[in-house]
Amino acid sequence: MEFDFLGRAFKGDKVIWCIFIALCIISLLAVFSATSTIAYRQQSHWAPILRHAAFLLVGFAVVMFLQRVPTRFLSILLLGLPVSAILLLFTMFMGEDVNGAQRWLGVGAFTIQPSEFAKISVIGFIAFFLSKMKPENEAWIFKALIIGVIVICALIAPENLSTACLLFGVCMLMLIIGQVHFKRLLKIALGGAALIGFLFLCLTLLPGRIVKDYFPDRLATWKNRIEKHSENQEGASIHDRNEDGTIAYKITDDNYQVSHAKIAIANGGVIGLPGSGTERDFLPQAYSDFIFAIILEEMGLSGGLFVLLLYVALMIRCGVLASKCEKKFPRYLILGTGLILTVQALTNMAVAVNLIPVTGQPLPLISRGGTSTIITCAYFGIILACSSRLNDSNHEDVDESIANVDFETFDEATAR
């Protein structure tokens, strides 16, 4: 009787549910430990974790709702694309500046991050059009996809370049999975590589004064991050020699975050220091960008590997579910959501262990957040909704009102 009730309450794939619940539990433990500086400022030991738990609870409600939504209604994500573009435009001119980046939009007493809404909207946008793509309409569908993706990424990039690059990369992976003609993808890839190469050359070769005076502020920030990362990798400017000739590691303002992340990882060892970590008091974004370093300190290498395997298992399970899905739209939704979660998680982990420059990407569902936490839960809700109807004979790719559009007529009209 109890199992029947649980089966009715928790629909969808049970493996995805286990991964979701495991990540939520780890998130509560990690954020509770990592928010010591916030607790000190607010003079409340419980306020930071209660706030995070409240957002997780809202996210859980979103998952419970979405898992019951027929996947044909998820095509409403298409409407999120123009709405996201409008919100991103508002953010560019009227957004709130937090930590040197204008990424948040104030709505009353709350703030939202439009780039998070844009990411989930773009995933739905690509999944829908890939599901409608045929050899005879591939040309105009590809153009529509590329225009939509470039517009959204261009609006995100000025204040959040890493998110724009991450989203564009995931979109390209989805187009590859959707079997878009290789020559079309190659042209876009070469154009994107040329643009990134040009920006990289500007950031590395031009003097800092010119970049600061004539380029957007965030590009100057990225120039500093790339230079700091290169210096740290080479070991330059961060080592001094003691009087006896031995090398002493020197922590400066330039390598502060990376240095304390390395200390946290070294402190953790294999089994970690549960509840006894110290670097949470030094890392400025211990509960967000560098929360994986705190996990490695307090849960050790074994805990870090477990978290990594959870995200890997999520991607593998999404691939398995997609392979079983007969309909194209939910298949691409599953793959797109799995990719965005996994790629973002790997990016955050790579920053924490100093493989790539600091990007500002949170660890999905684990890092402390508001909009990002709820949207991440929405990704899981979408995966569960698609997985619960893999073999449903009544399941449709998209809403009938959209599916009945005469695409052949549209092709002829655009051809003229």
CA–CA distance, 222 with 308 (Å, rounded to integer):
27
pLDDT band for position 410 (50/70/90)?
Answer: very low
Residue 280 DSSP label = G
| Mean pLDDT, residues 22-28 | 95
CA–CA distance, 223 with 206 (Å, rounded to integer):
10
Residue given tokens 């800092």 in the structure block: 208
Q: Which of 6, 29, 1, 80 is nearest to 366 (CA)?
A: 29
When mean pLDDT is compared across 138-147, 157-166, 212-221, the lowest value belongs to 212-221
Residue 416's pLDDT is what? 43
Are 252 and 131 spatial neighbours (Cβ–Cβ below 8 Å)? no
Q: Which residues pair with 112 in a beta bridge?
A: 105
Q: Which of 383, 404, 293, 276 is nearest to 340 (CA)?
A: 383
DSSP string, 33-48: HHTHHHHHHHT-SSHH
Highest mean pLDDT among 60-64, 230-234, 276-280: 60-64
Residue 399 has pLDDT above 70, yes or no: no
Residue 186 has pLDDT above 50, yes or no: yes
When mean pLDDT is compared across 227-231, 300-304, 314-318, the lowest value belongs to 227-231
CA–CA distance, 291 with 261 (Å, rounded to integer):
9
| Mean pLDDT, residues 111-127 | 91
Residue given tokens 């009227």 in the structure block: 94
Domain chopping of the chain, boundaries: 2-415
Q: Which residue has the higher pLDDT, 237 or 380?
A: 380
Q: Which tokens hold the place of 376?
A: 């991440």
- For 42-157, list the strands marked E by DSSP: 96-98, 101-107, 110-112
Q: Which of 369, 368, 359, 372 is nearest to 218 (CA)?
A: 359
Considering the entire predicted model, what is its pTM? Answer: 0.84
pLDDT band for position 161 (50/70/90)?
Answer: confident
pLDDT band for position 320 (50/70/90)?
Answer: very high
Residue 412 has pLDDT above 50, yes or no: no
CA–CA distance, 322 with 336 (Å, rounded to integer):
10
Residue 236's pLDDT is what? 43
- C-beta atoms surrounding 97 within 10 Å: 10
Residue 370 DSSP label = S
- C-beta atoms surrounding 344 within 10 Å: 24
Residue 229's pLDDT is what? 62
| Mean pLDDT, residues 194-218 | 68
